[in-house]
Amino acid sequence: VDEVMHAFLLQFYLSGISGRRIPAEVLLDTALEDESPLAQMLSQAAGYQVKVTSKMRSERARYTKLASTNAHAALMSKLAHKSTQHQRSEALETLLQLDMPLARMECFDISHTQGEHTVASCVVFNREGPQVGEYRRFNISGITPGDDYAAMAQALERRFAKAHEPAKLPDILFIDGGKGQLARAEEIMERYQDNFSGKRPLLVGIAKGESRKPGLETLILGGTHQEIHLPNDSIALHLIQHIRDESHRFAISGHRARRAKLKVASALEVIPGVGPK
């Protein structure tokens, strides 16, 4: 415990990554044998006296106990979420009869207002959940307003036209849409099949039910166009819904930002030589 706590405190305050200011006093819920040397190292790095102590009474003791309880609860929640995510991934692997564990899933969605300011989103998940740093948006242009098929085709072309890194290629590519959207996606993937290095993604369309109510989705497999209907309590369906909803949210937020930006722009600014001034 001493070694772990000592290493954590030095990494937490001295790594330079977090940018945290070293406090004048550090309270520990566990007594350490080397509290004095640790305080000296932190004091030297901070440029002022830093006290490290595990001996507390009254209010400070209660705060330290509360912090420890909160940290334990947060850890249990994180582990439970991780376990649930793995169970959902395994259920999806079984459903789709995959030979290898899922490493990467991507989902594309389109958002616009009456065909204007179209934005496509691409969200990425792995067995741990959303990989926000891998998300991408595509501002769609040069298409007939409201043509979602053309918007999807353009987004997929821009995503996969230069995709040569196997680790960045999805095992499953979800398309938020029915057979029409899936067919366009199949055309694009066929066009760039040489870029997949033998790792061609499994295409899955997510068609909404008649009332667009969650739980009524139909999965459409690429190639065979086989339809799969899952019960509401299917954990594989819950994972798919999570991915689809996240792609929808990311597309809408990007569309709204683009629309708001263009609202304050002047048509005069598109004239060559004419700028904001």
pLDDT in tens, 163-182: 777 778 999 999 999 999 99
pLDDT of 138: 95
**Segments in the chain below pLDDT 50:** none
Q: Where are the alpha helices (DSSP H) in 108-222?
A: 148-160, 179-191
Q: HSE (CB half, 13 Å, CA atoms) of 205?
A: 23
Which DSSP string do the residues of 76-130 spell out, in sequence order? Answer: HHHHHHHHHHHHHHHHHHHHTT-SS----EEEEEEEEETTEEEEEEEEEEETTEE
pLDDT of 8: 85
Tell me which amino acid residue 129 is. G
pLDDT of 114: 79
Query: What does the alpha-carbon distance between residue 249 and residue 222 come to, in Å, rounded to a whole number?
Result: 24
- Cα 2 → chain centroid: 35
pLDDT of 251: 93
Query: Which backbone phi and psi does 267 adopt, to 5 degrees?
Result: -65, -25
pLDDT of 89: 93
Residue with tokens 């683009």: 258
